[in-house]
Amino acid sequence: MQLSFLRPLYDRPGPWCSVYLDASRDTHDAHPQVDLRWRALKGQLLEQGADAASIDAIERVVRGHDPMPGDYGIAVFATRGHVVLTEYLTAPPLKDLAVWSNLPHTMPLVAQRGEQIAWVRVLADRRGADAMAVSAGGVPRRAHVQGRESWQLRRVQPGGWSQSRYQRAAMEAWHHNAGDAAAATVELAEKVGADVLVVAGDVRATGMIAAQLPERWQDMVVRTDAGSRNVGADDTLMDDLTVQTIAEVAEQRVAAALDRFGMQEDVGAGLDAVVAALQRNQVDTMLIVDDPSANGQLWIGPEPTDIATDPGQLAAVRDPQQVRADAALVRALVGTDAELAVLGPDEAPDLTDGVGAVLRYVDAGTPGRGNG
Protein backbone atom coordinates (compact mmCIF):
# COMPACT_ATOMS: atom_id res chain seq x y z
CA MET A 1 0.00 0.00 0.00
CA GLN A 2 1.36 3.39 -0.99
CA LEU A 3 1.09 5.94 1.82
CA SER A 4 1.83 9.18 -0.01
CA PHE A 5 -1.75 10.37 0.59
CA LEU A 6 -0.78 10.73 4.27
CA ARG A 7 2.18 13.00 3.58
CA PRO A 8 0.33 16.27 4.43
CA LEU A 9 -0.12 14.98 7.97
CA TYR A 10 3.62 14.83 8.53
CA ASP A 11 4.46 18.17 6.93
CA ARG A 12 2.99 19.98 9.96
CA PRO A 13 3.83 19.87 13.65
CA GLY A 14 1.30 18.46 16.10
CA PRO A 15 -0.36 17.79 18.37
CA TRP A 16 -3.24 16.24 16.40
CA CYS A 17 -6.92 15.54 16.72
CA SER A 18 -7.74 12.23 15.00
CA VAL A 19 -11.44 11.39 14.70
CA TYR A 20 -13.16 8.29 13.28
CA LEU A 21 -16.94 8.59 13.06
CA ASP A 22 -19.80 6.42 11.80
CA ALA A 23 -21.56 8.94 9.54
CA SER A 24 -24.25 6.60 8.13
CA ARG A 25 -27.50 8.40 7.38
CA ASP A 26 -29.84 5.62 6.25
CA THR A 27 -32.61 6.12 8.78
CA HIS A 28 -35.03 8.98 9.37
CA ASP A 29 -33.22 9.86 12.61
CA ALA A 30 -29.71 9.59 11.17
CA HIS A 31 -28.91 13.29 11.61
CA PRO A 32 -29.57 13.21 15.37
CA GLN A 33 -27.56 9.97 15.63
CA VAL A 34 -24.52 11.52 13.91
CA ASP A 35 -24.85 14.60 16.13
CA LEU A 36 -24.94 12.40 19.24
CA ARG A 37 -21.89 10.43 18.10
CA TRP A 38 -19.96 13.61 17.37
CA ARG A 39 -20.92 15.17 20.70
CA ALA A 40 -19.53 12.14 22.53
CA LEU A 41 -16.26 12.33 20.55
CA LYS A 42 -16.03 16.09 21.10
CA GLY A 43 -16.30 15.52 24.85
CA GLN A 44 -13.49 12.97 24.69
CA LEU A 45 -11.22 15.41 22.85
CA LEU A 46 -11.90 18.13 25.42
CA GLU A 47 -11.10 15.71 28.25
CA GLN A 48 -7.79 14.84 26.55
CA GLY A 49 -6.87 18.54 26.33
CA ALA A 50 -7.37 19.16 22.61
CA ASP A 51 -7.45 22.79 21.52
CA ALA A 52 -10.86 24.31 20.82
CA ALA A 53 -9.87 25.61 17.37
CA SER A 54 -9.06 22.13 16.07
CA ILE A 55 -12.23 20.68 17.57
CA ASP A 56 -14.30 23.42 15.93
CA ALA A 57 -12.61 22.76 12.57
CA ILE A 58 -13.48 19.06 12.77
CA GLU A 59 -17.04 19.88 13.81
CA ARG A 60 -17.51 21.98 10.67
CA VAL A 61 -16.44 19.00 8.55
CA VAL A 62 -18.64 16.51 10.40
CA ARG A 63 -21.76 18.67 10.35
CA GLY A 64 -21.19 20.11 6.88
CA HIS A 65 -20.04 17.14 4.79
CA ASP A 66 -22.21 15.94 1.90
CA PRO A 67 -24.18 12.91 3.12
CA MET A 68 -23.80 9.68 1.19
CA PRO A 69 -26.26 6.79 0.96
CA GLY A 70 -25.58 3.57 2.81
CA ASP A 71 -23.29 2.82 5.72
CA TYR A 72 -19.97 4.66 5.75
CA GLY A 73 -17.60 6.55 7.99
CA ILE A 74 -15.35 9.60 8.06
CA ALA A 75 -11.80 10.01 9.29
CA VAL A 76 -10.73 13.60 10.03
CA PHE A 77 -7.31 14.88 11.12
CA ALA A 78 -6.76 18.42 12.40
CA THR A 79 -4.04 20.44 14.09
CA ARG A 80 -3.81 24.02 15.29
CA GLY A 81 -7.30 24.88 14.05
CA HIS A 82 -6.92 23.40 10.54
CA VAL A 83 -8.32 20.20 9.08
CA VAL A 84 -5.45 18.75 7.07
CA LEU A 85 -7.00 15.51 5.82
CA THR A 86 -10.53 14.12 5.51
CA GLU A 87 -11.11 10.59 4.23
CA TYR A 88 -14.40 8.82 3.60
CA LEU A 89 -14.49 5.21 4.79
CA THR A 90 -16.42 2.68 2.69
CA ALA A 91 -17.80 1.19 5.91
CA PRO A 92 -18.28 2.57 9.42
CA PRO A 93 -15.16 2.34 11.61
CA LEU A 94 -15.00 -0.58 14.02
CA LYS A 95 -15.84 1.97 16.70
CA ASP A 96 -16.07 5.75 16.94
CA LEU A 97 -12.73 7.11 18.06
CA ALA A 98 -11.25 10.45 19.11
CA VAL A 99 -7.54 10.80 19.92
CA TRP A 100 -5.45 13.83 20.89
CA SER A 101 -1.77 12.95 20.43
CA ASN A 102 1.62 14.17 19.19
CA LEU A 103 1.27 12.17 15.96
CA PRO A 104 -1.92 11.57 13.97
CA HIS A 105 -3.50 8.21 14.75
CA THR A 106 -3.56 6.83 11.18
CA MET A 107 -3.43 3.06 11.69
CA PRO A 108 -7.23 2.57 11.75
CA LEU A 109 -7.45 4.46 8.46
CA VAL A 110 -4.79 2.48 6.61
CA ALA A 111 -6.08 -0.81 8.02
CA GLN A 112 -9.61 -0.13 6.80
CA ARG A 113 -8.51 1.45 3.53
CA GLY A 114 -6.57 -1.68 2.60
CA GLU A 115 -4.52 -2.29 -0.53
CA GLN A 116 -5.49 0.30 -3.13
CA ILE A 117 -5.59 -0.88 -6.75
CA ALA A 118 -5.63 1.41 -9.77
CA TRP A 119 -8.01 0.07 -12.41
CA VAL A 120 -9.76 0.75 -15.70
CA ARG A 121 -13.19 -0.61 -16.58
CA VAL A 122 -14.34 -0.54 -20.21
CA LEU A 123 -17.90 -1.32 -21.30
CA ALA A 124 -17.96 -1.82 -25.06
CA ASP A 125 -20.17 -2.73 -27.99
CA ARG A 126 -19.70 -2.38 -31.74
CA ARG A 127 -20.75 1.28 -31.66
CA GLY A 128 -18.18 2.46 -29.13
CA ALA A 129 -17.20 2.22 -25.49
CA ASP A 130 -17.54 3.86 -22.11
CA ALA A 131 -14.52 3.73 -19.83
CA MET A 132 -13.91 4.57 -16.20
CA ALA A 133 -10.53 4.67 -14.46
CA VAL A 134 -9.68 5.05 -10.79
CA SER A 135 -6.19 5.66 -9.45
CA ALA A 136 -5.06 4.03 -6.22
CA GLY A 137 -7.44 5.67 -3.77
CA GLY A 138 -8.10 8.48 -6.24
CA VAL A 139 -10.89 10.23 -8.11
CA PRO A 140 -12.64 8.44 -11.00
CA ARG A 141 -11.86 9.54 -14.58
CA ARG A 142 -14.20 8.78 -17.46
CA ALA A 143 -13.96 8.51 -21.22
CA HIS A 144 -16.58 7.97 -23.91
CA VAL A 145 -15.75 6.67 -27.36
CA GLN A 146 -18.49 7.12 -29.92
CA GLY A 147 -17.86 4.76 -32.80
CA ARG A 148 -18.44 5.32 -36.49
CA GLU A 149 -21.48 3.82 -38.18
CA SER A 150 -20.80 5.24 -41.64
CA TRP A 151 -21.20 2.05 -43.67
CA GLN A 152 -24.40 1.58 -45.63
CA LEU A 153 -26.20 -1.33 -47.26
CA ARG A 154 -26.06 -0.68 -50.97
CA ARG A 155 -28.39 -2.29 -53.51
CA VAL A 156 -26.12 -3.20 -56.42
CA GLN A 157 -28.70 -4.88 -58.65
CA PRO A 158 -32.44 -5.46 -58.59
CA GLY A 159 -33.37 -8.01 -55.97
CA GLY A 160 -29.92 -8.25 -54.34
CA TRP A 161 -27.92 -6.61 -51.59
CA SER A 162 -24.15 -6.38 -51.49
CA GLN A 163 -23.80 -8.60 -48.43
CA SER A 164 -20.05 -8.99 -48.73
CA ARG A 165 -19.58 -5.21 -49.02
CA TYR A 166 -21.79 -4.70 -45.96
CA GLN A 167 -19.92 -7.27 -43.92
CA ARG A 168 -16.56 -5.85 -44.91
CA ALA A 169 -17.62 -2.29 -44.10
CA ALA A 170 -19.13 -3.39 -40.80
CA MET A 171 -15.96 -5.21 -39.80
CA GLU A 172 -13.84 -2.21 -40.74
CA ALA A 173 -16.06 0.06 -38.63
CA TRP A 174 -15.99 -2.33 -35.67
CA HIS A 175 -12.22 -2.60 -35.94
CA HIS A 176 -11.90 1.20 -36.08
CA ASN A 177 -14.18 1.63 -33.06
CA ALA A 178 -12.21 -0.97 -31.14
CA GLY A 179 -8.98 0.84 -32.00
CA ASP A 180 -10.37 4.12 -30.68
CA ALA A 181 -11.59 2.37 -27.54
CA ALA A 182 -8.21 0.69 -27.03
CA ALA A 183 -6.42 4.04 -27.41
CA ALA A 184 -8.76 5.68 -24.87
CA THR A 185 -8.27 2.74 -22.50
CA VAL A 186 -4.49 3.00 -22.71
CA GLU A 187 -4.63 6.77 -22.14
CA LEU A 188 -6.68 6.30 -18.97
CA ALA A 189 -4.58 3.35 -17.82
CA GLU A 190 -1.39 5.38 -18.14
CA LYS A 191 -2.89 8.37 -16.31
CA VAL A 192 -3.87 6.32 -13.26
CA GLY A 193 -1.08 3.72 -13.41
CA ALA A 194 -3.60 0.90 -13.75
CA ASP A 195 -2.93 -2.52 -12.26
CA VAL A 196 -5.87 -4.22 -14.02
CA LEU A 197 -8.07 -3.58 -17.08
CA VAL A 198 -11.60 -5.02 -17.05
CA VAL A 199 -13.03 -5.10 -20.59
CA ALA A 200 -16.71 -6.05 -20.75
CA GLY A 201 -19.73 -6.08 -23.03
CA ASP A 202 -20.15 -7.43 -26.57
CA VAL A 203 -17.86 -10.44 -26.92
CA ARG A 204 -16.56 -9.50 -30.38
CA ALA A 205 -15.99 -5.86 -29.41
CA THR A 206 -14.10 -6.81 -26.25
CA GLY A 207 -11.95 -9.22 -28.24
CA MET A 208 -11.07 -6.53 -30.77
CA ILE A 209 -10.24 -4.01 -28.03
CA ALA A 210 -8.07 -6.48 -26.12
CA ALA A 211 -6.24 -7.46 -29.30
CA GLN A 212 -5.34 -3.82 -30.06
CA LEU A 213 -3.94 -3.01 -26.64
CA PRO A 214 -0.13 -2.64 -26.45
CA GLU A 215 1.71 -5.73 -25.25
CA ARG A 216 2.57 -4.23 -21.85
CA TRP A 217 -1.16 -4.10 -20.98
CA GLN A 218 -2.13 -7.51 -22.34
CA ASP A 219 -1.41 -9.45 -19.15
CA MET A 220 -3.56 -7.05 -17.11
CA VAL A 221 -6.74 -7.60 -19.14
CA VAL A 222 -9.77 -9.43 -17.73
CA ARG A 223 -12.58 -9.97 -20.28
CA THR A 224 -16.26 -10.63 -19.66
CA ASP A 225 -19.49 -10.48 -21.66
CA ALA A 226 -21.39 -9.06 -18.65
CA GLY A 227 -22.80 -5.55 -18.91
CA SER A 228 -24.43 -3.44 -21.60
CA ARG A 229 -24.16 0.15 -22.83
CA ASN A 230 -27.90 0.32 -23.46
CA VAL A 231 -29.64 3.13 -21.60
CA GLY A 232 -31.04 1.80 -18.33
CA ALA A 233 -29.18 -1.51 -18.63
CA ASP A 234 -28.25 -3.22 -15.38
CA ASP A 235 -24.48 -3.53 -15.11
CA THR A 236 -24.50 -5.12 -11.65
CA LEU A 237 -22.66 -8.16 -12.99
CA MET A 238 -20.05 -5.87 -14.42
CA ASP A 239 -19.59 -4.11 -11.09
CA ASP A 240 -19.35 -7.44 -9.25
CA LEU A 241 -16.65 -8.66 -11.60
CA THR A 242 -14.70 -5.41 -11.26
CA VAL A 243 -14.81 -5.62 -7.47
CA GLN A 244 -13.79 -9.30 -7.53
CA THR A 245 -10.93 -8.63 -9.93
CA ILE A 246 -9.62 -5.70 -7.88
CA ALA A 247 -9.81 -7.79 -4.69
CA GLU A 248 -7.85 -10.60 -6.33
CA VAL A 249 -5.12 -8.21 -7.49
CA ALA A 250 -4.92 -6.73 -3.97
CA GLU A 251 -4.59 -10.20 -2.45
CA GLN A 252 -1.88 -11.10 -4.95
CA ARG A 253 0.08 -7.98 -4.04
CA VAL A 254 -0.02 -8.76 -0.31
CA ALA A 255 0.87 -12.40 -1.00
CA ALA A 256 3.86 -11.25 -3.06
CA ALA A 257 5.08 -9.08 -0.17
CA LEU A 258 4.78 -12.08 2.18
CA ASP A 259 6.73 -14.24 -0.28
CA ARG A 260 9.51 -11.66 -0.53
CA PHE A 261 9.64 -11.41 3.26
CA GLY A 262 9.91 -15.18 3.55
CA MET A 263 12.84 -15.26 1.15
CA GLN A 264 14.89 -12.98 3.44
CA GLU A 265 15.15 -15.77 5.99
CA ASP A 266 16.91 -14.27 9.03
CA VAL A 267 16.38 -10.49 8.65
CA GLY A 268 13.53 -8.02 8.98
CA ALA A 269 11.44 -9.95 11.53
CA GLY A 270 10.13 -8.38 14.74
CA LEU A 271 9.79 -4.84 16.07
CA ASP A 272 13.47 -4.34 16.93
CA ALA A 273 14.56 -5.36 13.42
CA VAL A 274 11.93 -3.19 11.72
CA VAL A 275 12.83 -0.13 13.80
CA ALA A 276 16.53 -0.64 13.08
CA ALA A 277 15.79 -0.93 9.35
CA LEU A 278 13.68 2.24 9.40
CA GLN A 279 16.54 4.10 11.08
CA ARG A 280 18.73 3.14 8.11
CA ASN A 281 16.09 3.94 5.44
CA GLN A 282 16.24 0.26 4.57
CA VAL A 283 12.55 -0.72 4.46
CA ASP A 284 10.84 -1.32 1.13
CA THR A 285 7.55 -2.70 2.51
CA MET A 286 6.52 -3.15 6.11
CA LEU A 287 4.16 -5.98 7.06
CA ILE A 288 1.91 -5.49 10.07
CA VAL A 289 -0.86 -7.61 11.55
CA ASP A 290 -3.98 -5.53 12.11
CA ASP A 291 -4.60 -5.45 15.86
CA PRO A 292 -6.94 -2.64 17.02
CA SER A 293 -6.09 -3.47 20.64
CA ALA A 294 -2.35 -2.82 20.17
CA ASN A 295 -1.00 -0.11 22.48
CA GLY A 296 2.79 -0.45 22.22
CA GLN A 297 5.01 2.63 22.42
CA LEU A 298 8.09 3.87 20.56
CA TRP A 299 10.31 6.94 20.82
CA ILE A 300 10.69 9.52 18.05
CA GLY A 301 12.55 12.70 17.17
CA PRO A 302 11.83 15.35 14.52
CA GLU A 303 12.97 13.28 11.50
CA PRO A 304 11.10 10.23 10.13
CA THR A 305 14.16 8.04 10.76
CA ASP A 306 14.34 9.25 14.38
CA ILE A 307 12.54 6.18 15.71
CA ALA A 308 13.65 3.86 18.50
CA THR A 309 12.49 1.29 21.02
CA ASP A 310 14.50 3.07 23.72
CA PRO A 311 15.17 6.82 24.15
CA GLY A 312 18.85 6.06 24.64
CA GLN A 313 19.04 5.15 20.95
CA LEU A 314 18.18 8.77 20.08
CA ALA A 315 21.16 10.38 21.85
CA ALA A 316 21.41 13.09 19.21
CA VAL A 317 17.74 14.06 19.60
CA ARG A 318 16.77 16.68 22.12
CA ASP A 319 13.64 15.76 24.11
CA PRO A 320 12.51 12.60 22.27
CA GLN A 321 8.78 11.91 22.48
CA GLN A 322 7.05 8.67 23.39
CA VAL A 323 4.15 7.88 21.03
CA ARG A 324 2.00 5.00 19.83
CA ALA A 325 4.18 2.44 18.07
CA ASP A 326 1.91 2.13 15.03
CA ALA A 327 1.77 5.93 14.63
CA ALA A 328 5.56 6.15 14.72
CA LEU A 329 5.95 3.30 12.25
CA VAL A 330 3.52 4.81 9.74
CA ARG A 331 5.25 8.21 9.96
CA ALA A 332 8.61 6.58 9.29
CA LEU A 333 7.19 4.68 6.29
CA VAL A 334 5.75 7.85 4.77
CA GLY A 335 8.96 9.78 5.38
CA THR A 336 11.12 7.13 3.71
CA ASP A 337 8.72 6.40 0.81
CA ALA A 338 8.19 2.83 2.00
CA GLU A 339 4.99 0.84 1.51
CA LEU A 340 2.76 -1.03 3.95
CA ALA A 341 0.93 -4.35 3.79
CA VAL A 342 -1.77 -4.83 6.43
CA LEU A 343 -2.43 -8.48 7.26
CA GLY A 344 -5.25 -10.29 9.00
CA PRO A 345 -4.34 -12.29 12.13
CA ASP A 346 -4.61 -15.57 10.19
CA GLU A 347 -2.43 -14.41 7.28
CA ALA A 348 0.81 -14.31 9.27
CA PRO A 349 0.23 -16.04 12.61
CA ASP A 350 3.95 -16.56 13.23
CA LEU A 351 5.11 -13.01 12.44
CA THR A 352 7.31 -11.94 15.36
CA ASP A 353 5.70 -9.06 17.30
CA GLY A 354 3.12 -8.89 14.50
CA VAL A 355 5.49 -6.85 12.33
CA GLY A 356 8.19 -7.44 9.72
CA ALA A 357 9.87 -5.72 6.80
CA VAL A 358 10.89 -6.49 3.24
CA LEU A 359 14.22 -4.73 2.93
CA ARG A 360 15.54 -2.65 0.06
CA TYR A 361 19.01 -3.98 0.63
CA VAL A 362 20.93 -6.17 3.06
CA ASP A 363 24.50 -5.41 4.08
CA ALA A 364 26.95 -6.25 6.82
CA GLY A 365 25.26 -3.81 9.20
CA THR A 366 21.79 -5.28 8.87
CA PRO A 367 20.61 -6.66 12.24
CA GLY A 368 20.02 -10.41 12.15
CA ARG A 369 22.97 -11.12 9.83
CA GLY A 370 25.04 -12.34 12.73
CA ASN A 371 27.16 -9.22 12.85
CA GLY A 372 24.67 -6.44 13.68
What CATH number has the domain bearing residue 308? Answer: 3.30.1330.30
Domain total of the chain: 3
CATH code for the domain in which residue 59 is found? 3.30.960
The pTM of the full predicted model, rounded to 2 decimals, is 0.78
Tell me the per-residue pLDDT of 355-366, one tens digit each, with 9 for 90 and over: 999 999 888 777
Q: Quick one: pLDDT at residue 277? A: 95
Note whether 155 and 161 are within 8 A (CB).
yes
- Does 242 lie in the same domain as 129? yes
Of 96-105, 133-142, 220-229, 313-322, the poorest mean pLDDT is in 133-142
- Does 198 lie in the same domain as 127? yes
Q: Residue 369 and residue 372: Cα distance in Å, rounded?
A: 6
**Half-sphere exposure of residue 218, counting CA atoms within 13 Å on the CB side?**
7
- Does 298 lie in the same domain as 219? no
Parallel, antiparallel, or unpaired for β 160-161 and 196-201?
unpaired
Residue ranges with strand state E in the chain: 16-22, 73-79, 82-89, 97-101, 119-125, 128-134, 140-146, 155-157, 160-161, 196-201, 221-224, 283-289, 297-300, 307-308, 321-324, 339-343, 355-359
- Does 235 lie in the same domain as 123? yes
Tell me the per-residue pLDDT of 155-197, one tens digit each, with 9 for 90 and over: 334 444 445 554 555 555 556 667 777 888 888 888 888 888 8
**Half-sphere exposure of residue 28, counting CA atoms within 13 Å on the CB side?**
0
Length of the chain: 372
Tell me the per-residue pLDDT of 3-57, one tens digit each, with 9 for 90 and over: 999 999 999 988 999 999 998 876 555 567 888 999 999 999 999 999 999 999 9
Q: What is the mean pLDDT of residues 272-284?
A: 95
- Does 290 lie in the same domain as 313? yes
Cα 109 to chain centroid distance, Å, stands at 11
**Half-sphere exposure of residue 74, counting CA atoms within 13 Å on the CB side?**
25
Domain hosting residue 291, numbered range? 265-359
- Domain end, chosen from 113, 143, 177, is at 113
Query: Chain-wide mean pLDDT for the chain?
Result: 82
For residue 342, being part of any structural domain is answered with yes
Note whether 307 and 87 are within 8 A (CB).
no
Q: Residue 199 and residue 131: Cα distance in Å, rounded?
A: 9
- Does 245 lie in the same domain as 285? no
